[in-house]
Structure 1
């Protein structure tokens, strides 16, 4: 069975790279962008998520992001976020000493990286630290004058636009808008992890938005065992060694939960 083999591979791998998209946060109440009822059903990209829109009306754009920020902070990490945080800990937990001997608990010689296209911050709040937020974070601003990044205040106290604590300049949302480059070094770090991965896990993404969509292909071409979790078929499905037609929580429960039903079959 593909799923059982995928579970075994994840247990034994020393280098794992994970990519997540909007589908992992949907159960937490964060709307996706392109599905029925998604954000772009009611809002035009050109009005809110481009540098041109911000230049035309920065306050309008900030009010939209302040609304999204408040929604994101009300949302809670779900079981899928927490399972990935636990998977990371299997690689990064320091090994305790027993007597004079070091007892290994993490996977020796291992590596783990979680790459997300989401800006909601739920992975970090779930405990993930080996994390690349490819498209930035809705909970931060970036100063237009000095480039400093700084967290937004509590949503209940936030009145946009924010002011940089270093130089007093106006801050813009620290997210990647359509037509902008990714944060320096972010994609290079992601690309390196997927090129070296023994197992690549792609969860809840349409595999259509570049350059993130290329990461699964890169891992497969480099010889990684590729797992996809998505209720819908995507352009990546034909390359996947295991495609689970499930939502993020159900799929990650099957692969990562200590009490997975796969172990009982």
Structure 2
């Protein structure tokens, strides 16, 4: 068995508070290309023209050409073994929260209960004029772009370039990261601020960084303690299996290890 996987299982079993930070890479196996990949949205839609809040305010009909394509991908996608494995880690008490940069709702669909949506969720839409909020199901029969009852074009509740992370979300993420004994960094190179600061903050507070990515990233040499290189859909289930095996073999977590999730703030 891979010694890195064994070591990762050991630190997870001994951790009193573990977080996962996930990015686009975890959802690639669900059929959602990384926006920046050759087959991603940015290959066809210039983000400066389609993904800024200024672009949406100026021409929401144009921006919805990109959003409609994104929506088609999200509607077809399903949780993959990586999402299901993280939900299982939470159920077993080895994972306290997921902080995700994704807007696809796949963590929740996969069974995770404690998810911090750093960049929002495309499953809900809001009106910038009257602030009404709709679920995707409520507007599914409308033409594109969907509109509010007040007549304005609706915007998915995702963070566009030029928008701030909501202060309560940012504060909660920082509080959780400062408590982490282990941070799983999965499917992200963590190069886009402010999410890029979370692994560094965790490290500064003494966390062990376990990176799960198909390729090495800038984090690998700078912050990562344990690298599990490969597909998250294979590695996370293997990690779950190793933890279950060790528990069955009478290898309990460290005495006093918390299995509840403190809620900062």
TM-score, normalised to structure 1, is: 0.84
Q: Which residue number in structure 1 is paired with residue 38 of structure 2?
A: 36
- Contact 1:152–1:162 (CA under 8 A) maintained in structure 2: no
> 1:60 — aligned with what?
62
Aligned to 2:254: none
Query: Contact (CA 8 Å) 2:18, 2:180: kept in 1 or not?
Result: yes
Q: CA shift at 1:130, angstroms?
A: 0.6
Distance verdict in 2 for CA 1:170–1:39, change over 3 Å: closer
Q: Does residue 175 of structure 1 match 2:124? A: no
Aligned position for 1:187: 170
| Equivalent residue number for residue 80 of structure 2 | 78
2:134 & 2:241 partners in 1: Cα distance? 36
| 1:23-56 deviations in Å (ceiling 9; x for gaps) | 0000110010222322211210022101221123
Deviations 1:44-98 (A, max 9, x none): 002210122112321121232122112211111000001111111223xxxxxxx
Is the 1:253–1:260 contact (alpha carbons within 8 Å) kept by the matching residues of 2?
no
1:22 aligned to 2:6? no
Contact 2:68 2:144 in 1 (8 A): yes
Identify if the C-alpha distance between structure 1 residues 116 and 163 changes in structure 2 by more than 3 Å, giving closer, same or farther. Answer: same
Q: For this pair of structures, how many residues does the alignment match?
A: 245
What is the CA-CA distance between 1:7 and the residue it aligns to? 0.7
Whole-angstrom distance in 1 between the partners of 2:59 and 2:153: 14
Alpha-carbon contact 2:87-2:112 (below 8 Å) kept: yes
Q: Distance in 2 between matches of 1:154 and 1:137?
A: 15
Contact map agreement 2:102 2:119 (CA 8 A) in 1: yes
Query: Given the superposition, is the C-alpha separation of residues 146 and 55 from structure 1 closer, same or farther in structure 2, using an over 3 Å criterion?
Result: closer
1:161 pairs with 2:163: no
The 5-angstrom pairing of residues 93-242 of structure 1 reads 112-153=96-137, 157-164=141-148, 170-238=153-221, 239-242=223-226
Instruction: Give the conservation status (yes or no) of the 8 Å contact 1:196–1:222.
Output: yes
The CA RMSD over aligned residues, in Å, is: 2.5
How far 1:230 sits from its partner (Å)?
0.8
Structure 1 residues not aligned, in runs of 5+:
92-106
Pairwise CA distance, 1:169:
5.1
Look up the match of 2:237.
253
8 Å CA contact retained: 1:70, 1:155: no
- Give 1:234 deviation, angstroms: 1.4
